[in-house]
Homo-oligomer: A and B are copies of this chain.
Amino acid sequence: MPIVRIEMWEGRTLEQKRELVAVYTREMARITGCSETSVYVVIDDVKKQNWGAGGLLCSDKYPENN
């Protein structure tokens, strides 16, 4: 009964989230033997101004690409 939590930059499409949830659930069940039904996946869309890497806000470091 695993819980998977994903933090990533906001801006991913619904289709990308749908595929992430499907694949991560399927692979978790395949690798660990749990049932797919028991897997929860929670996605946290993080603004680039709320993510720091190497000491810089990503909104400063990567102003354009997503």
User: Which residues on B sit within 8 Å (CB–CB) of A25?
Assistant: 52, 54-55
Is B51 a contact of A42 with CB atoms below 8 Å? Answer: yes
A23's nearest neighbour on chain B, judged by CB, is: B27
Interface string of A1-26 (1 = CB under 8 A from B): 11111111100101011111111111
Is A20 a contact of B27 with CB atoms below 8 Å? Answer: yes
User: Which residues on B sit within 8 Å (CB–CB) of A41?
Assistant: 51-53
Is A51 a contact of B55 with CB atoms below 8 Å? Answer: no
Is B14 a contact of A3 with CB atoms below 8 Å? Answer: no
Of the candidates B3, B20, B26, B60, the one whose C-beta lies within 8 Å of that of A3 is B3
Sample (15) of A-B pairs whose CB atoms are under 8 Å apart:
A2-B6, A2-B7, A4-B6, A5-B6, A14-B57, A21-B57, A22-B52, A22-B55, A24-B52, A36-B55, A37-B53, A39-B55, A41-B51, A42-B46, A43-B52
